[in-house]
Amino acid sequence: MIPAFAEPLLALELAYWQETLIKVLVGLAAALGLTGGVVYLYLFKFVSFMQSRLGPMEAGPYGSLQLLAEVGKWLQKEDVAPSRADRVVFGLAPAVVLTSTFLIFVVIPAGPNAVIADLATGIYYVLGVSSLSVIGILMAGWASANKYALIGGLRAAGQLIAYELPLVLAVVGVVITVGSLNLQDIVAAQANGEIFGFTGIGNPFIITQFIGFMIFLIAIQAELTQTPFDMPIAESELVAGYHVEYTGIRFLVYFISEFATAVAFAAVASTLFLGGWAVPESWGISRDAMHWVGPLVISAKAVFLVGVVFWVRFTFPRFREDQLQTLAWKGLIPLALANIALTAVFKVVF
Amino acid sequence: MTAVTDRQKLSYIAAQAADARVNVELETEGMTLNIGPQHPATHGTLRIVAQLDGEQVIRAEPMAGYMHRGYEKLSEVRTYPQVTTLINRIDWLGSFANEVPFILAAEHLMEVEAPPRAKWIRTILFEMSRVANLILFLGDMGVQLGAVTPVFYAFRDREFVLDQIEKATGGRFHPNFDRIGGLKDDLPKGWLESTKSSMDKVRSFCDEMEDLLLGSEIFQERTRGIGVIPADVAMQYGLSGPNARGSGIDWDLRRDNCIGLAYDELDWKVWTHPDGDSFARFWVRLQEVREAAKMIDQLCDGLPSGPVMAKVPRIIKVPEGEAYVSTENPLGEMGYYLVSQGELTPFRLKIRSASFNNVSITPWLLRGVYVPDIITILGSLYFILGDIDR
């Protein structure tokens, strides 16, 4: 399957730093490219379809270059900081949020070798770095010297902490089933799996861990602060929440990180529950071919899941802060714990 | 009612004292949050100064007046036909409805009466401005609660109604169509049929809203029991229109004091809801849109023939006297107290607009709610800034 012209490329011997550099650049390009695609596909077109309007039509065919126009517009805007803002923290906050986003992409496997760092504790690492964004959001809320931003930042902190727990607990079920935290192992377990001897579709964990999958989806909706869990932004109450004072390129960074995180979490969810980059072993696609097919497979799954997130986002009204906490602490966490107990029992029995 | 024991009273006092001590020690004083005048949820330039304790409102006060345009004074230097141009802009979403009570007051003083056909067309346009106004409310309530999609449906379907108003009057927003003694023109050809088909669109919009918002668990969670106005409090603050009917007050000027309009001859119903919360107000308005669509269908079917203008002098001078006429406008009771001294212009015009009273209940209503509920309650009270400030 590998084209002839690519053979010498594979034979190249690279130093570790060269290899890492290439991986990081390719990973960054893939993350940004997917994010841009998702923004065009869902935020511009899918939502316009839902709201019975056309969306962007002028920039490029069917408005496909609209995103470039928007980015260009933001880059030109003046970078304003409120006079009473804590300028250092105010400037650093978007960088912290964006860093947290890109760190998630580091461990998501897109093929047999296509992963920047194949950590043994992969999923543990993902859940850890994704929480870093809370710090950035709190920094933004506090440093903006704006009451709306402060309320938004505090709401975000409360919400993200509350929804970290169901997120972690939903993953535990998968980890128990596989017996490993490594994302490649989780993918392999699903590709090689069988359902009562039937190997046609492998064993994606969405079937055995359906409760976990639903909890994970709800929790990422909240982690991404998308409606119905968007009180930190709440444009009808808090105007724009923690990023109300940001303009120009700094706002662009928040925008990118919001949607890149959506892609990242969707990729994690598809790795954990939908089989990741792999196709079932029984389909007999060679490992060499998967170098090329794998990234496409996981991209398609991730884009589909982002679509679900946006579908929900543009359909429902938002919860109130206390209702959201009630849902997390009284609904999702007990359910996730029950799921873990059930999974553990099944693991021991079968 | 369960009796409060001394023990409970004591523990309550002790808790309050402990709170006060903590506040003094940690200096946790409240925060004043200024919502508006520029804020996405205030439909214009209403300002609400809210004192918060965390996310809870201790005290909230609406401050109106950022859009005061002085219509009462301005109308003293306008001739009677010119005044309708101004008062069109009071509640700008249901413009035609603003003209009607003023014209009725002037007609009452002049002792002229519009011919039946003019009365019926007035009623049609009156109800159409109600539909155009309330449709936007139904969609906008979704935006206040965070659902962005309904408002696009609202704008889409309101356009069918505005198209009909434009075909009949020439103005989408500000028809300026009502005249003392009748109407400016008769209806254009084919208008009645296209109106009835636009009412089908309105009905399907109502069904859509029922699916998308009213039936949504999150919507119910956010609105049920939020901003409850008991009937007696609603009476004390002078609420009117759907806000009063949402509190179970069965009072509708279209039925109870119908002058100059054709409501007596129609088959319709006044909807009330006993709960008095935000959900009830939304529900009542949804039913009123449906009822208005039903009424417009009946009016189109039974429209009498004849002239649309009574005999009035070319130069209108209203005889000396005073008159107060109010009608059931989309936002509630709207009345004009007209004092004439027999000249070309009104001597004094007092405008009683619904939103001013409806918004005056907010300090009472917003005490103790959470910040997101401020927006829900303001949205469900449904005011229009032009209608508050005039």
Q: What is the mean pLDDT of each run of 10 residues along chain B (390 residues)?
A: 73 81 68 79 79 82 84 89 87 86 89 88 90 89 86 90 89 86 86 90 90 86 87 88 89 83 86 89 91 90 86 84 89 89 88 88 87 86 84
ipTM value: 0.79
Task: Choose, out of A218, A320, A321, A325, the residue to mutate when testing the contact with B (most B CBs < 10 Å).
Answer: A320
Residue B33: partners with Cβ closer than 8 Å, 6 or more residues away: A147, A148, A151, B49, B50, B51, B52, B371
User: Measured between beta carbons, which residues in chain A are less than 8 angstroms from residue B55?
Assistant: 151, 321
CB-CB under 8 Å, B153 with A314: no
Below-70 pLDDT ranges, chain A: 1-12, 197, 199-200, 281-282
> What distance in Å separates the CA atoms of residue A42 and residue A48, rounded to the nearest whole number?
8
Each domain of chain A, given as residue ranges in start order, spans 82-349
CB-CB under 8 Å, A50 with B149: yes
Among the partner residues B33, B218, B372, nearest to A231 by beta-carbon distance: B372
Q: Does A151 touch chain B (CB under 8 A)?
A: yes
Q: Does B220 touch chain A (CB under 8 A)?
A: no
Q: Does residue A18 sit in helix, strand or coil?
A: helix
Find the helix packing angle between A287-313 and A16-38, rounded to 10°. 40
Q: Does residue B148 sit in helix, strand or coil?
A: coil
Q: Does A327 touch chain B (CB under 8 A)?
A: no
> What distance in Å separates the CA atoms of residue A41 and residue A259, rounded to the nearest whole number?
12
Among the partner residues B41, B142, B152, nearest to A53 by beta-carbon distance: B152
CB-CB under 8 Å, A51 with B153: yes
| Residue B53 confidence (pLDDT) | 80
Residue A43: partners with Cβ closer than 8 Å, 6 or more residues away: A259, A310
Q: Which of B152, B42, B37 is nearest to B384 (CA)?
A: B42
Q: Which of B136, B80, B74 is nearest to B103 (CA)?
A: B80
| Residue B375 confidence (pLDDT) | 86
| Residue A176 confidence (pLDDT) | 87
| Residue B284 confidence (pLDDT) | 92
The whole-model pTM stands at 0.83
